[in-house]
Amino acid sequence: EIVLTQSPATLSLSPGERATLSCRASQSVSSDLAWYQQKPGQAPRLLIYDASNRATGIPARFSGSGSGTDFTLTISSLEPEDFAVYYCQQRNNWPPLTFGGGTKVEIK
Amino acid sequence: QVQVVESGGGVFQPGGSLRLSCAASGFTFSVYGMHWLRQSPGKGPEWVAVIGHDGRNIYYTDSVKGRFTISRDNSKNTLYLQMISLRAEDTAVYYCARDFQVGKYLDYWGQGTLVTVSS
C-alpha cells in the first residue's frame, strides 16, 4: 500500500500570502495524484488531478506540480475561503486508493 | 446539477449490520463507477470500495473484505453498501462519490452519513 505523507500538518498564513503544501509518496506514483479541499462539515472537493490539472471551476490561484514521489500544491494568494484542510490522494497503485493525513491551512 | 445523497447511518451495536444507500441525480448514473469512502474525526478520508458502471469490477480495502458488499441498481440510480459484523473501528462518516472521468479520482461527493458502532 502506498503511504502519502503531507507536510506541514498545519500552515498558519495571512490572506494574500502564498501557501505551499507538500505530499510525499512512499514509492513512485508517476503523475497519478490529486488534491482535495475540505471545509468543516463538508465533503472533500476535487481541486487538482493528474498532479497538475485543475478540476472544473477551480480558480487559477490553485496549482499543482510534481511527479514520482514529491508533489506540491500551491495557492498563489490566499483568499478567505481557502482556509481549510487539504488532502492528497494517489491512484497509481490500487486498490487501495490512499490519501494523505492532510494539511490544515489556518489564518495567522 | 450533480448530486449524491447518502442515507442509512445511525447507531449500531458491534456485530450488527446495516445498509447504506446513495441516491444519485443530475448525471447518467449508469455510465460512472462509484465509490464508498469513510472518514473518522480528525483523520483523512479512507477509501472503502468501488464498483464499475455496470456492477462489475468490484474492489474493497482489506479491512472490510468479507464484511462489506458494494452494489448498485442503475434502474433506481442508487448505490448501496451492505455492512455486517460491525466493529467499533467502522465508526465514521461514510461518503459516496462519483468516479472522475479519467478514473479513480473522486469528483462529486455526498455530504455523508454518520455510522456509529457502539454498545
Chain A residue with minimum CA distance to B45: A99
Which of these, B83, B84, B80, B115, lies nearest to B96 by C-alpha position? B80
User: What is the count of residue pairs from A and B with beta carbons less than 8 Å apart?
Assistant: 56
Chain B residues in contact with A43 by the CB 8 A cut-off are: 95, 97, 109-112
The contacts found for A37-44 with CB under 8 angstroms, 24 or more apart, are A37/A82, A37/A84, A37/A85, A37/A86, A38/A84, A38/A85, A38/A86, A38/A87, A38/A102, A39/A84, A39/A85, A42/B111, A43/B95, A43/B97, A43/B109, A43/B110, A43/B111, A43/B112, A44/A87, A44/B45, A44/B106, A44/B109
Which cell numbers in the block locate residue A82?
481557502
In this predicted structure, the answer to whether residue B31 has a pLDDT above a threshold of 80 is yes
In this predicted structure, the answer to whether residue B102 has a pLDDT above a threshold of 80 is no
Give the model confidence (pLDDT) of B85-101 as tens digits. 999 999 999 999 999 97
Instruction: Report the share of chain A in percent with pLDDT over 70.
Output: 100
Q: Beta-carbon neighbour count of residue B8 at 10 Å? A: 15
> Is B112 within 8 Å of A50 when comparing Cβ atoms?
no
Chain A residues in contact with B47 by the CB 8 A cut-off are: 95-99
Say whether residue B56 is in contact with chain A using an 8 A CB cutoff: no
Give the model confidence (pLDDT) of A51-75 as tens digits. 999 999 999 999 999 999 999 999 9
Closest CB to B104 among A91, A100, A102: A91
> Is B105 within 8 Å of A49 when comparing Cβ atoms?
yes
